[in-house]
Structure 1
Amino acid sequence: MNHLKALVIKFVMIAAVLGIILAGILDFAFSDTLVISLVLTLLAYVVGDLGIFQNAGARAEQDKRNIVATLSDVLLAAIVIYFMGQSFSENSENIVAAAIVSAVVIGLGEWFFHKYIDRHVFDRADATNAQREY
Structure 2
Amino acid sequence: MNHVKALIMKFIMILVVLSIILTGIYDVEFSDTLLISVVLTVVAYVLGDLMIFRKTGDRTANTHTADHSNAADHKKRNTMATIGDIVTSFLVIWLMGQALFANTEDIIAASLISALVIGGGEWFFHKYLDKNVFPEKDGHAATGNTRH
Whole-angstrom CA distance in 1 between matches of 2:24 and 2:99:
18
Q: Which residue of 2 aligns with 1:14?
A: 14
Aligned-pair CA distance for 1:26: 1.2
Whole-angstrom CA distance in 1 between matches of 2:96 and 2:27:
15
Query: Residue 74 of structure 1: which of 77, 86, 89 is its match?
Result: 86
Q: Which residue of 2 aligns with 1:45?
A: 45
Q: Which residue of 2 aligns with 1:32?
A: 32
Q: Which residue of 1 aligns with 2:131?
A: 119
Q: Encode CA deviations 1:29-50: one digit per residue, 9 max, x unaligned.
A: 1111010000000000011000
Q: Which residue of 1 aligns with 2:64?
A: none
Task: State the identity %.
Answer: 56
User: Are positions 1:128 and 2:143 aligned together?
Assistant: yes
Q: Which has the larger radius of gyration?
A: 2
Q: Which residue of 2 aligns with 1:91?
A: 103
Q: Encode CA deviations 1:60-83: one digit per residue, 9 max, x unaligned.
A: 200000000000000000000001
- The TM-score normalised by the length of structure 2 is 0.83
Instruction: After the TM superposition, list the runs of 4 or more consecutive aligned residues in structure 1 that deviate by more than 4 angstroms.
Output: none
Q: Whose helix proportion is higher, 1 or 2? A: 1
Aligned-partner residue type, residue 73 of structure 1: D
Whole-angstrom CA distance in 2 between matches of 1:126 and 1:97:
43
Structure 1: where are the runs of 5+ without partners? Answer: 130-134
